[in-house]
Amino acid sequence: MATDLNKQAGNSSFLEPHRYPGRLVAAEGLDGSGKSTQLQLLSFWLRSEGYEVIITEWNSSKLIKRALKAGRKQGVMDTKLLSLLHAADIAEMHQREILPALKRGAVVLADRYIYTALARDLARGVEAEWVQHVYQFAVRPDLGVYFQISAEEALHRASGSHPLLKYEQQAGMDLARQSDPVGSFRSFQQSVLRAYEAMVGRFELFCLDATQPVKQQQRLLRDAVQRVLPGENE
């Protein structure tokens, strides 16, 4: 146990490849970029190929919602505090679902992982060096996919016919100005987008044009996943 944790925090980090028999594919991108659909399709394919597949989803669990609620009661929340709560949430998912599956040799498809958390934190203005350090506990994905769409397109897809109703459920609304919720949400999305774009090169994310037809995206994804599957490189 101790060595596991040791590995999780510091010694081996999301900056270095892991040594588990399983594989981790992380899908990142703005809300509405089509990640979930693509992961579903990937899971069908991988299962038919005989792999054990689990899909994890990260979007503020009950655990953290409770803390966020208590925090909002106190007023405006410190951005680092928000960052720590999200990190705790991801850490729990990481230890409970992702690591055991990787140890079993399963393929884990993570619908949002640390890069989304990082992008949101950076967009909120949290010091980059500190927050990247916080996430050192996380295993580096074998494939990190960035679903690239413009902020306008994401907004359009996510908002549907009742934009404001939808916005309220979106990440980043903690920063929204009362007077102009749409405007402040848009500028938050822009900052998140910039953070993602900066991470593509830095963390070698696979950049997928998410405006292409679903089938075409899936084909590109399968090619990329194929290359990291067990037995392909050894």
**What is the nearest approach in angstroms of other proteins to the Cβ of residue 48?**
33
User: In the structure encoding, which two tokens stand for residue 15, read together?
Assistant: 């900056």
Cα gap 167→181, rounded to integer Å: 8
Which residues would be at the binding site for other proteins (CB under 8 A)?
Answer: 1-3, 5-6, 8-11, 63-64, 66-67, 70-71, 73-74, 78, 80-81, 84-85, 87-88, 91-92, 94-96, 130, 133-134, 136-137
* Contact assessment for residue 204 and residue 143, using Cβ atoms and an 8 Å cutoff: no
**What is the nearest approach in angstroms of other proteins to the Cβ of residue 215?**
39
Helices 79-93 and 62-74, packing angle to 10 deg: 170
Q: Comparing C-alpha atoms, which of 15, 208, 42 is closest to residue 114?
A: 15
Cα gap 231→116, rounded to integer Å: 29
**What is the nearest approach in angstroms of other proteins to the Cβ of residue 76?**
11
Cα gap 99→138, rounded to integer Å: 9
* Contact assessment for residue 204 and residue 144, using Cβ atoms and an 8 Å cutoff: yes
**What is the nearest approach in angstroms of other proteins to the Cβ of residue 27?**
23
Measured from the CB atom, the residue of 67 and 108 that comes closer to other proteins is: 67
Write the DSSP symbol of residue 10.
I
Measured from the CB atom, the residue of 44 and 130 that comes closer to other proteins is: 130
**What is the nearest approach in angstroms of other proteins to the Cβ of residue 152?**
35
Measured from the CB atom, the residue of 81 and 200 that comes closer to other proteins is: 81
**What is the nearest approach in angstroms of other proteins to the Cβ of residue 1?**
7
* Contact assessment for residue 206 and residue 146, using Cβ atoms and an 8 Å cutoff: yes
Q: Please count the other Cβ atoms lying within 10 Å of the Cβ belonging to residue 1.
A: 5
Measured from the CB atom, the residue of 88 and 224 that comes closer to other proteins is: 88
Cα gap 42→55, rounded to integer Å: 10
Measured from the CB atom, the residue of 134 and 149 that comes closer to other proteins is: 134
Measured from the CB atom, the residue of 139 and 158 that comes closer to other proteins is: 139
Measured from the CB atom, the residue of 68 and 145 that comes closer to other proteins is: 68
Measured in degrees and rounded to the nearest 5, phi and psi for residue 212 equal -70, 165
Cα gap 83→81, rounded to integer Å: 5
**What is the nearest approach in angstroms of other proteins to the Cβ of residue 177?**
22
